[in-house]
Chain A
Amino acid sequence: MPLFKALSLKLTIALCAVTLIQPISAGQTSISSLSDEELIQQYRERAQYLLDQTVALTDPTDLSAGGMFHLAVNLHEGANLEWVKARLITANQPPAGAMFWMIPMVLFMQIAQDIENETGTPALTDDEKAFIRILWKSYFPYRGDTENHWIMYYVSQYLVAEMTPDGGPELWYNGKSSAENMAEAREYIEDWIKITTSYGQGEYDSPNYIEEYTRPMALLAGWAKDPVLRKKGKMMMDYVLLDYAVENINGLYGGAHSRVYPRFLVQPSLSAAASHGWLIFGQGDYLSSGGNMMIALSGYTPPPILLRIAHDRDNPYVHRELKRTRWRLRNAGPEAFDIGGMTTIPVYKYSYVHKDFILGSSQGGLLQPIQQQTWSLLWHEDKPSGISNTMFGVQSYSSPFEGTMYFSTDWDTVTDLISRSKVDYDLEDKLEGGSPYEQVAQYQAALIALYDIPEGTRFPLIHTYFSRDLKNRVEDSSGWIFSQGGPTYIAYRPLAPGAWKPVDWTDSLKKGLGGYFSATANPKSGFEPLVGGSESYVSYDLKNGYIVQVASSSDFDSYEAFQAAVNALPLEYSMKPTPTVTFTSLDGAVLTAEYGKLFSVDGKADDLAAWPLFDGPFAQAERESESLEIIHDDERYLLDFKNARTETTNSSAK
């Protein structure tokens, strides 16, 4: 068959399949009518669709494209096998990417082993196996410097060691035996699980880095021979996905985030979390990702309770979480505490989740280097693809103080070297990042952000993102700026003068820096398609702040009624000597925020010491509990990591 006909056929099949796999409709009614078996069956259909799509879109004539995830899928499906074997070589000359190379390579090896075990026929020749073994001897991967790097590195090392349990040091790049590597890797994995389930992740709730955790956990869940580690891998998959499900709105990850790249900030539907939302929860649009391929191949099946939680937005709720910062090397500050000799501080997350929006925040400060998102608003879109359905604020901060807090690089080079990869780090119109001069507080659908920026700060400004997809913007004489995002009304009250600028007013991102936005005319990844037309509200006052009050349009007779209600809310504020606000929210709560002091609601201050690990209608966990109770209606699912045990009660599976 001529190539173009073959490709055309594949595309036709793919398009047909798209129409067959529909997302589960949002809303309690539709999801609650499905049994566990039906939810699992639908999940498996999506997983198979993903595998079929991956195969269908493989070009077997191209030996320059296709990563190890794609090879693993094709090998698993018995498709394009000549290409798989040839591409195995070209994709690894030379190997690169450290743990990003290790994870999909282990997946490929496991798939090959599975085929051999199941059929009795080797999927790879002896030469091909030798090729792979030489890679593990000759390529010395860097262990990396982030939490996701380490867990990917050690899970990979563990599973390869399990595949070669009697292997001597001659097999390995690091000169250790398989037994030594397995023991070391296992100890790290267990330690990571214990810290995460006791104090929260350091690299928490990242819309793009979520798959750097689901990839290794799916590997463990799918292939670890050790039953305890296999079980814990499955449990950590559930844990990470629950963490996402409770702050999910139609397949998008809302709230505050430890790390997020600009393209995912402005279009959340492009993130790995969104791709997981489609596969795991049946939400949003199909989006291919390596993490999804891994999950689909691993045999991991999400507990149906997670799907029910992700879809259940009948009643608005507050969800709180305790996380922690990345390990701090110096200048850890007064809140610092040690875990196993490493220093961190707590991160207090608060999200208000409504069927129409998620407003979520952390307390501000330098909680995570470079890519922190302190607060965000996402509003519901039935079809979020291509829509910038978000709002967030930034105090543009970059400094060697932050860099050396988290990296051992020298003071004078750390900002430069960070900017070699995170190219917007040192830009005044950057879209993400924490600031030591930012303090954020939230109660339900109202948020107050205050800033006290010292003279001489590199970028003495704050800015708030106003998407091009906001409608009906009104700058009221009261000082409030009103707008509408989908079904959500938004009121933004700047507390100091500002001005409108186009997003990326330094013209840096639109040049395609760092792959965040393509400089090409690609209709899906160029700057203009993603974010062109959006604006930033920029203020240069050093003592500064704003209030965000959000409401569902269903709560008001009209947009004008919302504006009138907000205009009537009591508000007192002063910026000097210290930014201070007292604001009565639409809920009638009196919110008091003063920069440098604890936030209070109706005169009662936040009790940060009592902030639990998870606290909301769908999840409960105490600090240092090493457990998580997942709740939906009368259904309970307990993850008990101390005992590597799960417990399910009242599942509809019965």
Chain B
Amino acid sequence: MKTLLSSLLLLSFAALPLAASGSESEPKLFAALAMTKSQKASPLPTDSGVFLYDNEAQRWRRFGPSIQQVNSLASDPSNPAHLFLACGNGIVRSQDGGTSWRMVTGWRESDITKIVVDPTNGQNVYASSAWGVIISKDGGDTWIAANQGLVEKLVKSIVIDHLNPNRLLVATTAGLFESNDQAQSWSQVSVPTNDAILGLDRNQSDPDLWIAGTEGSGVIVSKDNGKTWQSTAPALAQANIYGITTNHANSQAMAAGGWGKGLWVSNDGGNTWTDRSAGLPSKNISKTTFDQASKNRLWVSTFEEGTFYTDDMGKTWRTDDIIKPGAGGSILGAYVIDLGFVSVSK
């Protein structure tokens, strides 16, 4: 019995979150994912959770608890030890850089898709979910719904205006909505489509530049801080675009990836676009993001066929995401639900 108990204790510790390596807060690449490729005749992915990319070891490491359906990870910009997991179960928070975790939502909050934290006040936390927007004014201790003005509550993503934290935009199945009062009310933003908005990104160096992916209408951009929006990337005009990103170090560079369309890039602020799918094993793109540490690096996740990066805007692709039998460290076979950068510190 003692042997068995010991083995379970080991199992228990193995399941506990791994602490963030080191105390640095340099943004790290994360992937929120479900391992679906090997999911056969079962409702359960073979694994799921959040993984951080270890640049030095060139491998992925689990971060946080192992829970089915984790959709994203966020941290408080003013205190990167405060972390939030967007989960099917709700929101799971760490206040010690990932050493311990606590579920901070109740039964009314579910299927969280994305979380953002006010960069000027870490008490203000906002989350999108399949059932609407929820907000916290106490750093995540308590939450309330904030859906006034939304037409549909299935919210795919949320972005906070880092220059004006009272302002938020959400991507919903009924279009793009904006709040200028900390999510107390929402109003619809006019965009050149009635289709669902699937993802949203705002450039940090050129705050006038926003980009969004749509369900069936390709890519739309705004160059006047979200006031007006235009379609771009005509080759993707009818595509479902799940991955969109702008380079925060170079606002002329952006990328978009869709289902069956592969990965497309623009080097001129969205005026022209080039298919950079050659070299990728699949044209089904789930997420893409520019690297926040390596300024010209672009990451892309294909559906179940691996996560890759390029240092030359897609002319050539590389991956460290290879199967290392018995060694772990790979997320090959994953359905990457979110791919991004997050600062983590102890």
A-to-B contact residues, CB < 8 Å? 89, 92-94, 96, 98, 125, 127-128, 130-131, 134-135, 137-140, 142-145, 150, 154, 169, 173-176, 184-185, 187-188, 191, 329-330, 341-343, 408, 410-413, 417, 420-421, 423, 513-515
> Is there contact, CB below 8 Å, between A408 and B5?
no
Which of the segments B34-42, B52-60, B200-208 contacts the partner chain?
Answer: B34-42
- Minimum C-beta distance from A183 to chain B (A): 9
> Is there contact, CB below 8 Å, between B41 and A420?
yes
> Is there contact, CB below 8 Å, between A142 and B240?
no
- A408 contact from B65, B113, B260, Cβ within 8 A: B113
When distances are taken between beta carbons in the complex, the residues of chain A under 8 Å from B215 are 411
> Is there contact, CB below 8 Å, between A98 and B68?
yes
Question: Contact mask B74-110 → A, CB, 8 Å, 1/0?
Answer: 0000000000000011101000000011110011001
Take A127-B1, A408-B111 as given contacts and tell me if A341 and B39 are in contact as well, using a CB distance cutoff of 8 Å: no
Measured CA separation A96–B36 after assembly (Å): 17
Q: List 29 A-B contacts (CB under 8 A).
A: A92-B8, A93-B7, A125-B1, A134-B5, A134-B9, A138-B12, A140-B66, A140-B89, A142-B68, A142-B69, A143-B90, A169-B102, A174-B103, A176-B103, A187-B107, A329-B152, A329-B153, A329-B154, A341-B131, A341-B145, A341-B147, A341-B153, A410-B286, A412-B260, A412-B284, A413-B335, A417-B335, A421-B43, A423-B41
Residue in chain A with minimal CB distance to B111 = A408
Mark out the residues of chain B between 14 and 58 whose CB falls within 8 Å of any chain A CB in the assembled complex. Answer: 15-16, 36, 39-44
> Is there contact, CB below 8 Å, between A175 and B100?
yes
Residue in chain A with minimal CB distance to B64 = A140
Measured CA separation A144–B15 after assembly (Å): 20
Take A145-B88, A413-B303 as given contacts and tell me if A421 and B42 are in contact as well, using a CB distance cutoff of 8 Å: yes
> Is there contact, CB below 8 Å, between B103 and A175?
yes
When distances are taken between beta carbons in the complex, the residues of chain B under 8 Å from A342 are 131
| 20 further interface pairs, Cβ-Cβ under 8 Å (given A188-B107, A412-B260) | A92-B8, A93-B7, A93-B11, A98-B68, A127-B2, A131-B4, A134-B8, A138-B12, A140-B67, A142-B88, A142-B89, A173-B65, A329-B152, A329-B173, A411-B215, A412-B240, A412-B284, A413-B303, A417-B335, A420-B40
> Is there contact, CB below 8 Å, between A411 and B303?
no
Take A139-B15, A188-B107, A413-B303 as given contacts and tell me if A330 and B101 are in contact as well, using a CB distance cutoff of 8 Å: no
B132 beta carbon closer than 8 Å to chain A: yes
- Minimum C-beta distance from B18 to chain A (A): 14
When distances are taken between beta carbons in the complex, the residues of chain A under 8 Å from B242 are 410, 412
- Minimum C-beta distance from A297 to chain B (A): 25
When distances are taken between beta carbons in the complex, the residues of chain A under 8 Å from B260 are 412
- A137 contact from B12, B36, B111, B174, Cβ within 8 A: B12
> Is there contact, CB below 8 Å, between A93 and B12?
no
- Minimum C-beta distance from A327 to chain B (A): 8
Measured CA separation A144–B88 after assembly (Å): 8
Residue in chain B with minimal CB distance to A89 = B4
B237 beta carbon closer than 8 Å to chain A: no
Mark out the residues of chain B between 195 and 222 whose CB falls within 8 Å of any chain A CB in the assembled complex. Answer: 196, 198, 215
B130 beta carbon closer than 8 Å to chain A: yes
B273 beta carbon closer than 8 Å to chain A: no
> Is there contact, CB below 8 Å, between B111 and A421?
no
Residue in chain A with minimal CB distance to B101 = A175
When distances are taken between beta carbons in the complex, the residues of chain B under 8 Å from A175 are 92, 100-103
B-to-A contact residues, CB < 8 Å? 1-2, 4-5, 7-9, 11-13, 15-16, 36, 39-44, 65-69, 88-90, 92, 100-103, 106-107, 110-111, 113, 130-132, 145, 147, 152-154, 173-174, 196, 198, 215, 240, 242, 259-260, 284, 286, 303, 335
- Minimum C-beta distance from B201 to chain A (A): 17
When distances are taken between beta carbons in the complex, the residues of chain B under 8 Å from A139 are 15
When distances are taken between beta carbons in the complex, the residues of chain B under 8 Å from A143 are 88-90, 110
When distances are taken between beta carbons in the complex, the residues of chain B under 8 Å from A150 are 107
Take A145-B88, A420-B39 as given contacts and tell me if A130 and B106 are in contact as well, using a CB distance cutoff of 8 Å: no
> Is there contact, CB below 8 Å, between B4 and A138?
no
> Is there contact, CB below 8 Å, between B36 and A417?
yes
When distances are taken between beta carbons in the complex, the residues of chain A under 8 Å from B68 are 98, 142
Residue in chain A with minimal CB distance to B68 = A142
Residue in chain B with minimal CB distance to A343 = B153
> Is there contact, CB below 8 Å, between B152 and A330?
yes
> Is there contact, CB below 8 Å, between A131 and B67?
no
Residue in chain A with minimal CB distance to B89 = A143
When distances are taken between beta carbons in the complex, the residues of chain A under 8 Å from B152 are 329-330
Take A143-B89, A184-B107 as given contacts and tell me if A329 and B5 are in contact as well, using a CB distance cutoff of 8 Å: no
When distances are taken between beta carbons in the complex, the residues of chain A under 8 Å from B39 are 417, 420-421
Measured CA separation A420–B100 after assembly (Å): 33
Measured CA separation A514–B43 after assembly (Å): 10
Residue in chain B with minimal CB distance to A185 = B107
> Is there contact, CB below 8 Å, between A412 and B113?
no
Measured CA separation A513–B41 after assembly (Å): 7
When distances are taken between beta carbons in the complex, the residues of chain B under 8 Å from A185 are 107
When distances are taken between beta carbons in the complex, the residues of chain A under 8 Å from B110 are 143
Measured CA separation A175–B90 after assembly (Å): 13
Measured CA separation A423–B12 after assembly (Å): 34
- B107 contact from A154, A329, A417, Cβ within 8 A: A154
Residue in chain B with minimal CB distance to A407 = B130
Residue in chain A with minimal CB distance to B174 = A330
- Minimum C-beta distance from A128 to chain B (A): 7
> Is there contact, CB below 8 Å, between B173 and A131?
no
Measured CA separation A411–B260 after assembly (Å): 12
When distances are taken between beta carbons in the complex, the residues of chain A under 8 Å from B4 are 89, 131
- Minimum C-beta distance from B116 to chain A (A): 18
Measured CA separation A154–B108 after assembly (Å): 12
Measured CA separation A134–B39 after assembly (Å): 28
> Is there contact, CB below 8 Å, between B259 and A412?
yes
Measured CA separation A423–B44 after assembly (Å): 13
Take A142-B89, A175-B101, A411-B240 as given contacts and tell me if A131 and B2 are in contact as well, using a CB distance cutoff of 8 Å: no
Which 5 A/B pairs are nearest by Cβ-Cβ distance? A175-B102, A138-B12, A142-B68, A421-B43, A174-B103
When distances are taken between beta carbons in the complex, the residues of chain B under 8 Å from A343 are 153
- Minimum C-beta distance from A412 to chain B (A): 4
Take A341-B145, A420-B42 as given contacts and tell me if A128 and B240 are in contact as well, using a CB distance cutoff of 8 Å: no
Measured CA separation A243–B9 after assembly (Å): 45
Residue in chain B with minimal CB distance to A97 = B44
> Is there contact, CB below 8 Å, between A134 and B12?
yes
Measured CA separation A142–B49 after assembly (Å): 11
When distances are taken between beta carbons in the complex, the residues of chain B under 8 Å from A329 are 130-131, 152-154, 173
When distances are taken between beta carbons in the complex, the residues of chain B under 8 Å from A144 are 88
- B11 contact from A94, A191, A421, Cβ within 8 A: A94
Measured CA separation A29–B285 after assembly (Å): 67
When distances are taken between beta carbons in the complex, the residues of chain B under 8 Å from A140 are 15, 65-67, 89
